[in-house]
Amino acid sequence: MSHPSWKSTRSYVLASVMTAMSVGALLPVTPAHAQTSAVRGLPDFTELVEQVGPSVVNIRTLEKVASRGTASGMDDDMLEFFRRFGLPIPNQPRQQRPQQQPEEEQPRGVGSGFILTSDGYVMTNAHVVEGASEVIVTLTDKREFKAKIVGSDKRTDVAVVKIDATGLPAVKVGDVSRLKVGEWVMAIGSPFGLENTVTAGIVSAKQRDTGEYIPFIQTDVAINPGNSGGPLINMRGEVVGINSQIYSRSGGFMGISFAIPIDEATRVSEQLRTTGKVVRGRIGVQIGQVTKDVAESIGLGKPQGALVSAVEAGSPAEKAGVEPGDVITRYDGKTIEKFGDLPRMVGNTKPGTKSQLTVFRRGAYRDLSIAIAEVEPDEKAQAAAAVAEDKPGKASPAAQKLGLVVAELTEAQKKELKIKGGVRVVSAEGAAARAGLREGDVLLAVANSEVTGLKSFEAALAKADKTKPINLLVRRGEWAQYVLIRPVR
């Protein structure tokens, strides 16, 4: 059985036709006015199609590829025929040398887009135009234009292209904050290359986090490969999103589609039109989810915020005093409900801005001031590993019950890990091993008490409640996370 996967809608698409089911035969005969009332709430999309349809465009892309001809004068298919049937391949004259084949343009894919401004700016998905040597935009009146790629942003999957035309019918941009779950929405695009195909459905969810940089709008509108870049339209005829992804086992529509909120896309498009690129803020942390068990064990209560697993050396976060194991709960006064909220908030902050972080550390909240830096292109995370040295380990009675043997860190190890204290795990068995601890891990805190060395480790462990799961802040290489050791009953 194939597993479900996230699919960008990148190729040609089948039109989806909604069939209205008649309910009259299933109901008793009622007065005419009652029947009219029963169907009054059903949506009619005809006016919306007439209103918004001319603003939706078809986008074809071409890419340059090397000619398939070979030095022997045969293409790859013919060569494969000779190989498959064991026939000798005609020899190339010795005096001839293979010549570099000329490049030719071939169709790459089909997508959708919509007109942002009357002077020819068109918005679409970044993956629609990625790698294209030529972009051709076709309007509903069948006029075709070669488009120039103004800029694209892979993180949000938004791109802007420009065609040389004026007096074009631009879309109206809606307010995503007014969009409600259950509200009817419509899509227009080119599924499987079928231009100007209209599908409709409802908003299934908002702020859907799929691991991408943005909070998607989830709908049940029929979206297929080729719909990418087309608009998601509300009943007021306003664009509220860009259709971007589907959730599918087969590669085709299965009832779950995702659209980029138009407010996020507009912020990106404005930067692309101004500078051709997108500038984002960064603070230099690696973060993860705060689970319910971890939240309860560290005293946070509600599972919210972003758990800091690593802090980049020399980053704004390190300079501000952020430490691995901190839970960032607020950014500039705004609560971080899910860990994915933080990169979006920071990314939308102009580099150089002074911002405020609230972190939860060892049972207490702290406010930190931080200067936002700029995301560098193709940035690579720095990694470092602790150098394990053979030092005798120690196991107190309390540690033995957990299956732990630990040792003091050397000054060299502290310096390499850029930490002030902690103890190194020499061996982990029993409950400690079941919790995922292993040799070489560094324990930074036990039950919300900071560990500076063996003495503080034993003291923290001695006063911990052994009837409940004990939380340990563990450093492994450059990453830190909370681990719960559950008592043996």
Can you name the residues that pair with 65 across neighbouring β-strands? 104
Q: Residue 454 — φ and ψ, nearest 5°?
A: -60, -40
**CA 181/CA 176 separation, integer angstroms:** 11
Nearest to 408 by CA among 420, 391, 385: 391
- The per-residue DSSP string of 339-361 comes to TTHHHHHHHTSPTT-EEEEEEEE
* Residue tagged 């969810």 (tokens): 205
Angle at 107 between CA 105 and CA 108, to 5 degrees: 110
Residue 416 DSSP symbol = H
The catalytic residue positions are 127, 157, 228
Can you name the residues that pair with 186 across neighbouring β-strands? 200, 233
**CA 58/CA 188 separation, integer angstroms:** 10
Dmax of the chain from CA atoms?
93
Sequence-distant (6+) residues with CB within 8 A of 106 are 62, 63, 65
Nearest to 278 by CA among 270, 288, 286: 270
* Residue tagged 């490969």 (tokens): 225
User: Between the CA atoms of 254, 260, 262 and 263, what dihedral angle is there, to the nearest 10 degrees?
Assistant: 140
